[in-house]
Amino acid sequence: MDLATLLGLVGAMGVMIGAIVLGGDVMGFVDVPSIVIVVGGTAFVVLFRTTMGQFLGSFKVALGAFLHKGTAPLKLIEEAVSLANVARKEGLLALEGKEISHPFLKTGISLCIDGHAPDVVSKVLSKDINLTIQRQEAGYGVFKAVAEVAPAMGMIGTLIGLVQMLANMSDPKSIGPAMAVALLTTLYGAVIANAVATPIAEKVKLRSNEEKLSKTLILESISGIQEGLNPRVLEQLLMAYLPESQRQSSKS
């Protein structure tokens, strides 16, 4: 888990929990029926909007996004240029047994060593990229749906609580506590949407973009290596994937 994710998660939860603790009665913010309405209702509505596979797979996608340890594009370029140097001087078979850090790059090099045609290698790797992006987009869609549905379920729970409260107006002393419980569902929905589901969805989207960039860069590298492209030319070609600031720093 990267530092930004850890700080954001701990900080957001810490601020809310701290405010509740400083305010007094912590158990006043716990209501089981409200939790059931918001959490259960949100889960079932989102499941209604998606497939079972997408719903269950979204948790794996989210976990992968949070625990993802990506390789910096600059390091991928350096490794690809190094492999291109070896392949140009000694042939593609000389790459067999070389230690390769990125699994996708390793797969591409293996396909080249096995003697597959460039169009076959490109088709296999492109298919991998497209399917990976599709899975991540499905996970992103599930958590965006949670962010949309949770506040609505919170409002529904609040309305249910208000109806029950108004039906029992004979005891004025019970109106305040009943109103507080009714509002808890709105609170739960807002927390789930804004402090959980939306950050997870955006993190999945961020990791998806990073992985797409890395794998596209690797695909370009494999094509260049297989074509016997000059390593210096390949390096210049791959540098286009980096922001201008990183290109300048790599030259210095």
pLDDT-derived band at 29, boundaries 50, 70, 90: confident
User: Which residue reads 């006043």 in tokens?
Assistant: 28
Structure tokens at 250: 């790599």
Task: Dump pLDDT digits (tens) for 112-131.
Answer: 999 999 999 999 999 999 99
Q: Tell me, what's the pLDDT at 68?
A: 75
pLDDT-derived band at 171, boundaries 50, 70, 90: confident
- Looking at every residue in the chain, the average pLDDT score rounds to 89
Is the pLDDT confidence value at 173 over 80?
no
Q: Tell me, what's the pLDDT at 51?
A: 93
**What integer is the mean pLDDT of 27-43?**
91
Is the pLDDT confidence value at 251 over 70?
no
pLDDT-derived band at 169, boundaries 50, 70, 90: confident
pTM: 0.84
pLDDT-derived band at 3, boundaries 50, 70, 90: confident
Q: Tell me, what's the pLDDT at 155?
A: 94
Contact yes or no for 238/222 (Cβ under 8 A):
no
Q: Tell me, what's the pLDDT at 178?
A: 76
pLDDT-derived band at 250, boundaries 50, 70, 90: low
The angle subtended at Cα 103 by Cα 100 and Cα 106, nearest 5°, is: 50
Is the pLDDT confidence value at 82 over 90?
yes
Higher pLDDT, 3 or 72: 72
Residue type at 133 in one-letter notation: I
Taken in order 39, 44, 46, 47, the sign of the CA dihedral is: positive
List the alpha helices (DSSP H) in the chain: 3-23, 32-35, 41-49, 52-67, 73-90, 103-113, 118-166, 175-191, 198-227, 231-239, 244-251
pLDDT-derived band at 75, boundaries 50, 70, 90: very high
Is the pLDDT confidence value at 148 over 90?
yes
- Secondary structure letter of residue 197 according to DSSP: I
Length of the chain equals 252
**What integer is the mean pLDDT of 91-105?**
90
Query: What is the domain partition of the chain in residue ranges?
Result: 1-30, 31-246
